[in-house]
């Protein structure tokens, strides 16, 4: 399944428990020798919410949250009959998220996720090393958002890993470059921690929208346009919660035999 092109392998661990998800995420995410994806997402039991979600990047590292993945989990559990509810709670390592499914003739066509409040924000100056003034935003997972005049000038494969592994970020960071292309319209590209360039990043879109408000570049509701598609983000003024609305798409079901 994918959310705006950010594709993961989804496993229902009620039926297929995975003992070593870190290794399987690495093995199955490979394009030529595996299935090919940005990582692995496990859907499972929770004693605190309707379901539990764990997300592993393509390098096997486990992340606190995955915005695009959470929308696809909502689609999965509804369409595969694990629930009949269209408002679902999902336990993640960054807390319990609430999903509202938009269903049309039994198919989930979009999902709104309450991503909670930004955990922290901050400004980063790199001095002579990089000509950037960036904004750090944690959505449970770390993001570094840099607004530029022309996003097409950014060599993401070159600068992405340098910033991901920058010493200032002991847990590494997801890296977003963004350009304001209209009123409350933001073009964003992402180098993800643990996966590299992806077509979209849900938590990264939230971080970008929050950073745009903090820097006075957009209002509290904006559209984030990424390589693989767009999501709408609303940072509620009263609750401070960030609401993300976007698509969730199934590509195929498959079977893989493994030891």
Ligand X SMILES: N[C@H](CCC[C@H](N)C(=O)O)C(=O)O
Cα torsion 78, 36, 24, 226 to 10°: value is -60
- In whole angstroms, give the CA distance from residue 144 to residue 191: 10
Q: Is 72 assigned a catalytic role? A: no
Q: Is 6 in the site for ligand X (CB under 6 A)?
A: yes
**Which residue's CB is nearer to ligand X, number 151 or number 244?**
244
Please check if 67 is assigned to a binding site.
yes
Contact between residue 78 and residue 101 where contact means Cβ atoms under 8 Å apart? yes
Residue 176's H or E segment, with its range, is strand 174-182
> Annotated catalytic residue: which of 66, 151, 188, 190?
66
**Which residue's CB is nearer to ligand X, number 179 or number 204?**
204
- In whole angstroms, give the CA distance from residue 146 to residue 140: 19
Q: Is 201 in the site for ligand X (CB under 6 A)?
A: yes
Q: Is 201 assigned a catalytic role? A: yes
Segment near ligand X (CB under 6 A); pick from 17-25, 101-109, 195-203, 233-241: 195-203
> Annotated catalytic residue: which of 201, 210, 226, 244?
201
Exposed, middle or buried, 37 (CB in 10 Å: 0-12/13-18/19+)? buried
> Which CA distances in Å does 208 have to 42, 97, 193?
26, 19, 15
Q: Is 203 in the site for ligand X (CB under 6 A)?
A: yes
Which of 29, 37, 52, 68 is the binder for ligand X (CB under 6 A)? 68
Which residues are part of the catalytic machinery? 66, 201
Q: Which residues are annotated as a binding site for substrate?
A: 6, 57, 67-68, 141, 174, 192-193, 202-203
Chain positions contacting ligand X, by CB under 6 A: 6, 55, 57, 63, 66-69, 141, 174, 192-195, 198, 201-203
């Amino acid at each position: 399944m994918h959310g705006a092109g950010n594709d993961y392998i989804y496993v229902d661990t009620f039926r297929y428990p995975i003992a070593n998800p870190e290794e399987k995420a690495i093995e199955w995410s490979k394009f030529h020798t595996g299935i090919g994806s940005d990582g692995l997402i496990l859907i499972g039991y929770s004693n605190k919410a309707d379901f539990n979600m764990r997300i592993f990047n393509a390098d096997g590292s486990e992340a606190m949250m995955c915005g695009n993945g959470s929308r696809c989990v909502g689609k999965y559990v509804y369409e595969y009959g694990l629930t009949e509810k269209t408002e679902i709670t999902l336990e993640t390592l960054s807390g319990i998220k609430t999903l509202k499914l938009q269903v049309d003739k039994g198919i989930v066509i979009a999902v709104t996720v309450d991503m909670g409040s930004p955990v922290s924000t901050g400004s980063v100056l790199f001095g002579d090393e990089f000509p950037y003034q960036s904004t750090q935003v944690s959505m449970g997972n770390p993001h570094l958002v840099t607004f530029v005049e022309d996003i097409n000038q950014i060599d993401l494969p070159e600068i992405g890993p340098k910033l991901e592994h920058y010493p200032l970020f002991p847990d590494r960071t997801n890296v977003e470059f963004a350009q304001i292309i209209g009123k409350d319209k933001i073009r964003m590209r992402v180098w993800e921690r643990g996966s590299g360039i992806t077509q979209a990043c849900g938590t990264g879109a939230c971080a970008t929208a929050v950073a745009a408000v903090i820097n006075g570049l957009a209002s509290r509701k904006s559209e984030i346009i990424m390589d693989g598609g767009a999501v709408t983000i609303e940072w509620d003024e009263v609750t401070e919660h960030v609401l993300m609305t976007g698509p969730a798409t199934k590509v195929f079901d498959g079977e893989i035999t493994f030891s």
